[in-house]
Structure 1
């Protein structure tokens, strides 16, 4: 829905959007637009602020009462800070200042609709997960993740040992929790321990407990984590690091469902499901003699393998939006998302640290970002943003000549802009009729140092 009382501008915006494939309903009278608006009928509202009768802020409020989730872009020739804050507080998604080029309108509309689409996909996925798993911390819509979740659904009700494999940072503990909280054991405890974080002696006492007087410092009887998890699930993270002494005791428990506390000759029986996880190649570890083969097969009754983030890139926008929302809620920030260029860079990056790295990078970016969106210059401080590679064909013939000429033109044009504006990227972007992120991306691509042109 498009609303602007200036009929000429309204028709121009309608034509630009229609020519680019958008279905547009335009109004020049705001009260007619307010009456016609129905929830679910439109994906976006673009409205002028200053209009006779009912202004854009009033229209914004009426529309939000009917459909709180719809994004609204406010158009104004008088974008004061006070007005912008007022519009954003009332629920506006973005502000567009007159005069503007058609490309700027299209860019803002595309961003708003992309944001809406991500929210909708995330909502649908969350509803599906809550319905199937009652567990809403698993974010993603890729086919590989859906396969994992389908496997979780089947395994949750079967009381078998599960080994979750995958690189560090892929979310193995979340999957373990999903298995537990959707199993008949969900009312009992989920207890986790990192087997690689403790020395052998301490790990053994943590898992199995000890009897008073078993060793120096054992001044009282102490239950281990296996007893604590009785009736529930024990999650052994980084199980490939289990010391041999602990492996032997754990194997006996898996065979007999009983174990001995350290220093206690009387066996203790408990009912615990074991879920383990590792980022190691367990077959190699078994072959080297560092891990018992019989224990490996006891733990690996069923395997769930989590793909790395680089193999589920479709989930990156959803995960980024999720982490941005969490950070906004935690620190009271209002970051709306990633800019177009930053999102492209995030999709291209390999994320060797997987989801954990993405979460940490988003947190760091929000701490430094001064704009409404995480921009490419800020993101590039935390991940390597590579310039587009030249293909072999581009170095030969007419196509190569054209690319070289384009590169030479862009380099000279950027240098001229920066020289004229004394290194001020914002001013250079305004003169070029583009956004700052594009200028920064080109500067990085061609290796231009803007500080050479500072006043």
Structure 2
């Protein structure tokens, strides 16, 4: 790894040489300048990792050096050295972007400590930028599986609305990838450099949901021992995704509507409004218009959320994407667990393409993960796949949307979830926390489903 490059600027040649020697002896590539004009003239951000400059120098003083450095490279950390660290001077330096102020005289250990901290901050900033770029790349439209086939019309719409700061309601059956589309909208929008936060409105009780979204003021209720920021405030400048928005209780719907109208809300127990700039994306697998007619969902809120509607098709309507998705998920699991599964056998792939996948993409991913966990061959065989889905009775015919079919759907989904939960518990020895981690699910969800299907984790421990 290349040595970190440090520019030293101080008109005291003795101090300059001393710092240069200390830093060089500790593995840094340091270069000293005794003339501030010359240093600033030669400075190029790509050549340096850190600048250390004295404050009091003839000609161009340290504060002006700081300003010029920041104009050329805003992210460059600069440590200022002074013999007289007055409050006023310190405030000026910090306002102009100084990372730290070092007071003369100082010990070598202190210099090295300050340098290490400044460089660590730079590394964290660079790492965050790399991670952000990785996220942006991950959610590029052409990286979404099926965007070139079954999802092309939808993704063309997503590309248009991503750059427009408007509310979007994403509808579709459970497991169709609604949050993935919400993330794609965010990371292809002008808000991509700010936070994307998500909350499942059906996973929390009403009392917790309100405080989670809006936060609360100290003393607002028993247990509120300090001020707490809610998700809306934490997402300021970015995007908040409300999954299963149809589960919002009426009092929360009212507060959310006010926010959408005025871009402000009240923390619980606070009399002063909090103003933030957040884009709201929401999703539901329910019929919100039916809920409006029943009076369980506000009509005015529905139209505020549903400025643009995106319907995600179920997997049975985009069967041509199944081979692409299978390849993607197997590759993903191989990388995660270090396995070498090459794919599905031709019979297993045919069965996968014919199955109706009531749990959609989520079910396909989980079935592949479970199959890979127990497969002993290089490819997943039909017998292995048949342990998790019905490979003999499903056809490629479009499903009848009658009430009987709804019962079939519920039955198939329950059968799959039961099999999958048992395979998870078998794999983890009944450890629910490990099972939740394996499935990428919330522990509370796992416990709720175990209770629903009367599965005892003790049977697997």
> TM range, normalised to the smaller chain?
0.5 to 0.7
Question: Are the counterparts in 1 of residues 265 and 275 from structure 2 also a CA contact under 8 Å?
Answer: yes
SS of residue matched to 1:144: coil
Deviation at 1:134, TM superposition (A): 2.9
CA distance in 1: counterparts of 2:323 and 2:268, whole angstroms = 49
Equivalent of residue 160 in structure 2, options 129, 147, 154 = 154
Instruction: Give the match for residue 341 of structure 1.
Output: 347
Instruction: Give the match for residue 261 of structure 1.
Output: 267
Deviation at 1:386, TM superposition (A): 1.8
CA distance in 2: counterparts of 1:171 and 1:163, whole angstroms = 13
The CA RMSD over aligned residues, in Å, is: 1.8
Equivalent of residue 334 in structure 2, options 301, 306, 328 = 328
Question: Are the counterparts in 2 of residues 130 and 136 from structure 1 also a CA contact under 8 Å?
Answer: no
Instruction: Give the match for residue 228 of structure 1.
Output: 234
Instruction: Give the match for residue 187 of structure 2.
Output: 181
Q: Per-residue displacement from partner, 1:148-200 (whole Å, max 9, x unpaired)?
A: 11111000000000000000000000000000000000000001000001111
Distance 1:137 1:362, change over 3 A: farther
Distance 1:300 1:307, change over 3 A: same
Q: Per-residue displacement from partner, 1:57-82 (whole Å, max 9, x unpaired)?
A: xxxxxxxxxxxxxxxxxxxxxxxxxx
Deviation at 1:143, TM superposition (A): 3.8
Deviation at 1:388, TM superposition (A): 8.6
Distance 1:323 1:168, change over 3 A: same
* Structure with the larger RCO, 1 or 2 (CA within 8 Å, 6+ apart): 1
CA distance in 1: counterparts of 2:394 and 2:297, whole angstroms = 45
**TM-score computed with the length of structure 1 as normaliser:** 0.56
CA distance in 2: counterparts of 1:373 and 1:248, whole angstroms = 53
SS of residue matched to 1:163: strand
**TM-score computed with the length of structure 2 as normaliser:** 0.55
Instruction: Give the match for residue 439 of structure 2.
Output: none
Distance 1:342 1:141, change over 3 A: farther
Q: Per-residue displacement from partner, 1:356-395 (whole Å, max 9, x unpaired)?
A: 0000000011111111111101111110012598xxxxxx
SS of residue matched to 2:274: strand
CA distance in 1: counterparts of 2:394 and 2:164, whole angstroms = 49
Question: Are the counterparts in 2 of residues 132 and 153 from structure 1 also a CA contact under 8 Å?
Answer: no
Equivalent of residue 369 in structure 2, options 363, 367, 371 = 363
Distance 1:133 1:367, change over 3 A: closer
Query: Unpaired runs of 5+ in structure 1?
Result: 1-128, 390-455
Instruction: Give the match for residue 54 of structure 1.
Output: none
Q: Which runs of at least 4 in structure 1 moved beyond 6 Å after TM superposition?
A: 129-132
CA distance in 2: counterparts of 1:337 and 1:198, whole angstroms = 38
Q: Per-residue displacement from partner, 1:111-146 (whole Å, max 9, x unpaired)?
A: xxxxxxxxxxxxxxxxxx988963676212564311
Matched, 1:310 2:310: no
